[in-house]
Chains A and B, each alone.
Chain A
Amino acid sequence: MAKITLDNLAHSYLPNPASEDDYALKELNHDWVDGEAYALLGASGCGKSTLLNIISGLLQPSQGRILFDGQDVTHAPTAERNIAQVFQFPVVYDTMTVRDNLAFPLRNRGAKADYIAQRVNSIAQMIGMEAELDRKARGLTADAKQKISLGRGMVREDVNALLFDEPLTVIDPHMKWELRTQLKALHHQFGHTMIYVTHDQTEALTFADKVVVMHGGRVVQIGTPQELFERPEHTFVGYFIGSPGMNLLPARIDGTKAYVDGNEIALGRAYGGVQGNVQIGIRPEFARLSDEGLPVKVRRVEDVGRHKIVRAEFMGQALNIIAEEGEDIGADKTCVVFDPAHVNVYADDWRVNGEAA
């Protein structure tokens, strides 16, 4: 187990990157705290797999350093970094039995036979494959194979970090939940540093202590699920996380007030001289239908079970509102009000931190 430090790290797949656009991973400084579970969240092509491969040593960064507990491993081969990685598609050794598959990483490192047997048994129990231990891996289902890959990743106790590259893509939905819970339990039990790459916000938010959101090769926010929800640092975080995502409205800011097409909206904090492309962002959870406030037209109401999503229109722009399950949406509800404490202000997509009003 180790603290992983990224120092001035950046990567481009081009030999001579000229502009910032040529970088698949833009300059980044970050410490992955020892023993925490991180999720690396972003749409496909945002650079999250590039970052993971640099950490695991499958890729050499074009600039910067990676340190494991203060030791430079930037050019160290994968095997010396003592990490484990689980891939998107199950990687199992088809001709070996399940038992041999699980024992493989330990045997290659010359562990003792009784230690191997003990580890393999406890891992098999954890992934629920004790009955299949002596079967050949070939012919097992995709989720069984992926469970073996997970097991092989966890069989070594002394790993510096456990990396997961969208490991649940091929798994059935109900198994997904089970495996994720197991992973979480495991993290509590052994306290490995875990980095979990995914494009699924539910997976990221339920698995991780801290979520790292990436967009266009850049880390746009690192925070707890709560922080991502309440204070998205970037408009991308706003609409990528949450369902539906954050509402964004172009606005003019003046002190503790925002103006959208002449309508005044109260803000929780005071802002001075906000320049550029200014927007305000309000999560649907913090918007409420009312009989006074900003005028909206309700287009559609979707009942998703625990609550209702109101698809409305405000000055020609789509606006989503979440209403309580029991809430009555009558013809008189033609206005919307926002919770001032949860209205965020963005300039050129980045959040502006106001002063306490």
Chain B
Amino acid sequence: MEKTVNQKAWFLVLPVLLLVAFSAVIPLMTVVNYSVQDSFGNNQFFWWGIGWFEELLHSDRMWSALWRQLAFSAIILAIEVPLGVFVALNMPKKGFWASFCLVLMSLPLLIPWNVVGTIWQIFGRVDIGLLGYTLAALGIDYNYTQDAVDAWITVIVMDVWHWTSLVALLGYAGLQSIPDAYYQAAKIDQASRWKVFRYIELPKMMGVLMIAILLRFMDSFMIYTEPFVVTGGGPGNATTFLSIDLVKMALGQFDLGPAAAFSLMYFLVILLISWVFYTVMTNLEKREG
């Protein structure tokens, strides 16, 4: 749409600007401020320069949390995106069953995150949980509080349970926009199921899938509550992702300087990776076109 130049439009944006500035810029300034100072308590601060950042870059704790985080995000994206697309392709197109599936699939998305954690914490327990009990009864040695691999599997399955529906619903919305004539033409052209997916459905889903991948990446990179409730970051530090580590540092140990430096690096990493994702995907789309 052709837009007109109108500087007065700033007045329309002003409320948003003030509100977001209040809840983003001021806190962020505080963080920047802390990140370059040190304190001996009693609110006495002195200049510390980039000391915290240097320390952070050499800290094993931060690096291992970052690698765990990247591994977690990569794994859940690799599972949730294909699975979500697969589910979207199998959803009923219209009628009662379509609404039925939509309602049930949206359910996990509206459960408070700590309750999601609680559900899986209970579900996976060997003594009282259906999953843990069944696995134990089948003779599988499963215990997410003791075994790091089991903890990882539990956290990943929980995230797949929680968020695959988001990808599926976005994909479904994309599929709904395909006119029937495309499927009819494909039948007449004798296109195989795979070709229908590859040349009709996938291109039409690309737009919403991009949104899905970005959202899932960002949110998985910030994940805190669910794994914290299930594993508390353990066993050991096995499931201590960046947010969990940060909260431990900031609110638990009150190490304001390092925590602030950590926060800034964290934020920058998310921005950087999101930007790379976004650029790569838009370029891919352009090259296709």
Q: Which A residues contact B (CB, under 8 angstroms)?
A: 56-58, 77-79, 83-85, 87-89, 91, 93-96, 104-105, 108-109, 136, 138-139, 149, 152
Cβ-based interface call for B182 (8 A): yes
Chain A residues closer than 8 Å to B203, beta-carbon distance:
93-95
Of residues 162 to 220 in B, which have CB atoms within 8 Å of A's CB atoms? 179, 181-182, 184-185, 187-192, 195, 199-200, 203
Pick the contact of B288: A77, A84, A95, A149 (CB < 8 A): A95
Cβ-based interface call for B139 (8 A): no
Q: Given A79-B190, A104-B189, check contact A85 B289 (CB 8 Å).
A: no
**Beyond A58-B187, A105-B190, A109-B190, 6 additional pairs, beta carbon < 8 A:** A78-B188, A79-B187, A95-B203, A108-B189, A108-B191, A149-B185
Contact B200 A93 (CB under 8 A): yes
Q: Which B residues contact A (CB, under 8 angstroms)?
A: 179, 181-182, 184-185, 187-192, 195, 199-200, 203, 288-289
Contact A93 B192 (CB under 8 A): no
Chain A residues closer than 8 Å to B192, beta-carbon distance:
108
Chain A residues closer than 8 Å to B187, beta-carbon distance:
57-58, 77-79
Contact B190 A108 (CB under 8 A): yes
Q: Given A77-B187, A108-B190, check contact A89 B179 (CB 8 Å).
A: yes
Pick the contact of B188: A79, A88, A89 (CB < 8 A): A79
How far does the Cβ of A250 sit from chain B's closest Cβ, in whole Å? Answer: 44
With both beta carbons as reference points, the residue of chain A lying nearest to B181 in the complex is identified as A87
With both beta carbons as reference points, the residue of chain B lying nearest to A95 in the complex is identified as B203
Chain B residues closer than 8 Å to A84, beta-carbon distance:
188
How far does the Cβ of A272 sit from chain B's closest Cβ, in whole Å? Answer: 51
Q: How far is the CA of A58 from the CA of B195 in the complex (A)?
A: 19
Of B188, B190, B192, the most chain A CB neighbours within 10 A belong to B188
Contact B289 A91 (CB under 8 A): no
Q: Given A89-B179, A95-B199, check contact A136 B184 (CB 8 Å).
A: no
With both beta carbons as reference points, the residue of chain A lying nearest to B182 in the complex is identified as A91
How far does the Cβ of A138 sit from chain B's closest Cβ, in whole Å? Answer: 5
Contact B181 A91 (CB under 8 A): yes
Contact B188 A139 (CB under 8 A): no
Contact B289 A78 (CB under 8 A): no
Of A83, A104, A109, A136, the most chain B CB neighbours within 10 A belong to A104
How far does the Cβ of B141 sit from chain A's closest Cβ, in whole Å? Answer: 48
With both beta carbons as reference points, the residue of chain B lying nearest to A84 in the complex is identified as B188
Contact A56 B188 (CB under 8 A): yes
Chain A residues closer than 8 Å to B199, beta-carbon distance:
93, 95-96
With both beta carbons as reference points, the residue of chain A lying nearest to B179 in the complex is identified as A89
How far does the Cβ of A207 sit from chain B's closest Cβ, in whole Å? Answer: 21
Contact B188 A83 (CB under 8 A): yes
How far does the Cβ of A58 sit from chain B's closest Cβ, in whole Å? Answer: 5
Contact A108 B195 (CB under 8 A): yes
Q: How far is the CA of A323 from the CA of B204 in the complex (A)?
A: 55
Q: How far is the CA of A36 from the CA of B69 in the complex (A)?
A: 68
